[in-house]
Amino acid sequence: MTSTLGTSASTRVRSIGHWADGKKFAGTGDRTAPVTNPATGQITGDVALADVEDARTVIDAAAAAFPAWRDTSLAKRTAVLFAFRELLNARKSELAEIITSEHGKVVSDALGEVSRGQEVVEFACGIAHLLKGGMTENASTNVDVASIRQPLGPVGIISPFNFPAMVPMWFFPIAIAAGNTVVLKPSEKDPSAALWIAELWAEAGLPAGVFNVLQGDKVSVDELLTNPKIRAISFVGSTPIAQYVYETGTRHGKRVQALGGAKNHAIVLPDADLDLAADAMVNAGFGSAGERCMAISALVAVGPIADELVAKIASRATSLKTGDGTRDADMGPLVTKAHRDKVASYIDAGEADGATIVVDGRGATVDGEADGFWLGPTLIDNVTTDMSVYTDEIFGPVLSVVRVDSYDEALNLINSNPYGNGTAIFTNDGGAARRFQNEVEVGMVGINVPIPVPTAYYSFGGWKSSLFGDTHAHGTEGVHFFTRGKVVTTRWLDPSHGGINLGFPQNN
Active site residues: 293
Query: Could you give the CA distance from residue 298 to residue 423 in angstroms, rounded to a whole number?
Result: 10
The distance of Cα 139 from the centroid of its chain, to the nearest Å, equals 43
Strands 14-16 and 18-20, by their bridges, are: unpaired
Torsion sign, CA atoms 15, 98, 201, 480: negative
Strands 232-236 and 154-158, by their bridges, are: parallel
Helix residue ranges, H only, 205-266: 218-226, 239-251
Helix axes 74-103, 166-177, angle to 10 degrees: 170
Query: Could you give the CA distance from residue 450 to residue 282 in angstroms, rounded to a whole number?
Result: 10
Query: Could you give the CA distance from residue 92 to residue 182 in angstroms, rounded to a whole number?
Result: 22
* CA distance to 286, 320, 399, 409, per residue, from 279 (Å): 11, 12, 13, 24
Query: Could you give the CA distance from residue 17 to residue 24 in angstroms, rounded to a whole number?
Result: 7
Q: What is the dihedral of CA 184, 239, 151, 476, to 10 degrees?
A: 120
Query: Could you give the CA distance from residue 169 to residue 125 in angstroms, rounded to a whole number?
Result: 13
Say whether 241 sits in a helix, a strand or coil: helix
